[in-house]
Amino acid sequence: MTSEQIKRKIEVGDYILASKLLNITPENVRARFSREKVDVLKALEAIINNREKFIKKYQKKISG
């Protein structure tokens, strides 16, 4: 996933969760994301992918 794709899919709390994963501040996550640092890109991509999978799985579970 490119940084532009990540930017379009970021939601409230993603920087905070990434900061907990990487043990840095949310402000550092934002700064590192703007510089396209690999560790932050991978963490945010994992957060987004897991959220999308969880939503699909949960919606499937409650719909039938």
What DSSP line would sit under the chain, residue for residue? Answer: --HHHHHHH--TTHHHHHHHHHTS-HHHHHHHHHTT-HHHHHHHHHHHHHHHHHHHHHHHHHH-
Residue type, 30: R
Checking if the pLDDT of 2 tops 80, the result is yes
Q: What is the pLDDT of residues 12-41, one digit of tens each?
A: 999 999 999 999 999 999 999 999 999 999
- pLDDT on residue 38: 98
In this prediction, what percent of the chain has a pLDDT beyond 70? 100
Burial class (CB in 10 A: 0-12, 13-18, 19+), 7: exposed
> What mean pLDDT value characterizes the chain?
97
Domain that holds residue 30: 3-63
Residue matched to tokens 């970021």: 10
Q: How confident is the model at residue 5 (pLDDT cuts 50, 70, 90)?
A: very high
Number of domains within the chain: 1
Above 90 in pLDDT, residue 64? Answer: no
